[in-house]
Structure 1
Amino acid sequence: MSFGGFIDFFQKGKTFRPKKKFSPGTLRYSLYKQAQASLSSGINLRTAVQLPVGEDLYDWIAVHESCPTMSGGPKFEYLWADKEKYKKPTQLPAPQYVSLLMDWIENQINNENLFPVSTDVPFPKSFLPLCKKILTRLFRVFVHVYIHHFDRIVSIGAEPHVNTCYKHFYYFITEFDLVISKELEPLMEMTTKICHDVIQN
């Protein structure tokens, strides 16, 4: 996964490919449609990662593959563990970490034992802790992208779109206390600037 892969993370409809279908007329279908509508604004960034005129292909690829670790600056490094292939927390290049994360999340949300489709089936006790884990790991992608790729985001004109995605995500996780405050630390200064109503402790 290149920087373009990170950009796809923020692109409408490109993050996950849930296989489940919610029945029209149900509460979960209504909530699903509302969530989709809230993410419907923004630009298509696929063309933004294409080779610029006059640029060397190898140079262009090289600048997109420069993340040997999944980090959020010098104080934060994120290790991957999935209890299957990576049983112990393992250092991985950022593109590999993000790719594994997206696959892992897709598997979780498509597992109807974890994310039931029918309103007749109750959510398991593990549902909220799992959601917190998913959202914490997704927040780490924001951290990495903002800290290590912000110049690229600005250069392709994606800053407003990525900021909007971040604000939506941030407001959601803080509204329901889904990510612990320690995880939010790497972006707190930026968050205070772009989310004007953030109250600092």
Structure 2
Amino acid sequence: MTLVLGFIEFLNKEKTFKPKKKFSPGTLRYSLHKQAEASLTSGIKLSEAVKLPFNENLDDWIAVHVVDFFNRTNLIYGVVTSYCVPESCPTMSGGTKYEYFWADGKHYRKPTALPAPKYISLLMDWVEDQINDDTVFPTTTDIPFPKNFQNRCKKILARLFRVFVHVYIHHYDKLVETGAEPHVNACYKHFYYFVREFDLVREQEFEPLEELTKRICKD
């Protein structure tokens, strides 16, 4: 409980890599965001806190969490961004076994190897463009979600997970040095339980952090 409260405070006060995306007060998303945040500090297990509230729409619940995880991943990368430079991180990797290539169908039509900071910057811009697009993430209930909404969210969440992989494997020492490690662990647990609850990230994607997941995702 104390750790989760500290995690919320950490989220609210620290500087993000990119500007935070906020919900407008009085909207359904704002209400769901507050409900989700309250569940984190209620003392219930994270594996229970992520479950869809009674009578709520799944797409709305997923939308709120995608935006939250975008903000939190931004924050986490913001902790290490001054240490993640092309010279130290010439590839977007998770150790020697895993390397990620960037493709967005526009500027990078084929999967392309990039330095980690360039990859992550493009990734955050790509996610931000989608969550700011009312046709993808509608801001009012009179605009329907697109039919491929959950598939789009699956791709967003899988790519955000890669930031966890890179930060944990290549910048773990900085997380410890700055005191951010327990907060990042809390964020990762929340992310993990949420995407597993709704089958939003393929199990194979978790292989780079398999040991970490076994260690901290126990409840």
In the superposition, the TM-score normalised over structure 2's length comes to 0.69
**Matched residues in 2 for 1:11 and 1:96: separation?**
24
Structure 1 counterpart of 2:104: 82
Specify the SS of the correspondent of 1:186: helix
Please point out which of 167, 190, 193 is paired with 1:145.
167
Preserved CA contact (<8 Å) 1:17 1:106:
no
**2-side partners of 1:32 and 1:156: how far apart?**
28
Describe the shift of the 1:187–1:108 C-alpha distance in structure 2 as closer, same or farther (beyond 3 A): same
Displacement after TM superposition at 1:29 (Å): 2.6
Relative to structure 1, the CA distance from residue 83 to residue 16 in structure 2 (aligned partners, 3 Å threshold; closer, same or farther) is farther
Q: Hey, what does 1:92 align to over in structure 2?
A: 114
TM-superposed CA distance for 1:77, in Å, is 0.6
User: 2:3 aligns to what?
Assistant: none
- Once the 2 structures are TM-superposed, how far is the Cα of residue 168 of structure 1 from its aligned partner? 1.0
Please say if 1:163 is aligned against 2:164: no
Secondary structure of the corresponding residue to residue 135 of structure 2 = coil
Q: CA RMSD in A?
A: 3.0
Count of residue pairs brought into register by the alignment: 172
Name the SS for the 1:123 alignment partner: coil
Please give the alpha-carbon distance, in whole angstroms, between the structure 2 residues aligned to 1:17 and 1:23: 15
Q: Is the 8 A contact 1:16 1:106 kept in 2?
A: no
Q: Which amino acid aligns with 2:34?
A: K
Percent identity of equivalent pairs:
62
Matches within 5 A, 1:40-55: none
- Higher percent of residues as helix: 2
Please list every run of 5 or more consecutive structure 1 residues that lacks an aligned counterpart in the other structure: 1-9, 50-60
Match in the other structure for 2:92: 70
In the alignment, structure 2 segments of 5+ residues that lack a partner are: 1-9, 41-67, 69-74
Residue correspondence of structure 1 range 1-201 to structure 2 within 5 A:
11-12=11-12, 14=16, 16-18=19-21, 21-22=23-24, 24=26, 26-35=27-36, 38=40, 64-65=84-85, 66-197=88-219
- Shift of residue 67, structure 1, vs aligned partner: 0.3
CA apart distance, 1:82: 0.8
Give, in angstroms, the shift of residue 27 of structure 1. Answer: 3.0
Q: 1:76 to 1:140 in 2, by over 3 A?
A: same
Residues 84 and 116 in structure 2, CA contact (< 8 A), matched pair in contact too? no
TM-score scaled by length of structure 1? 0.75
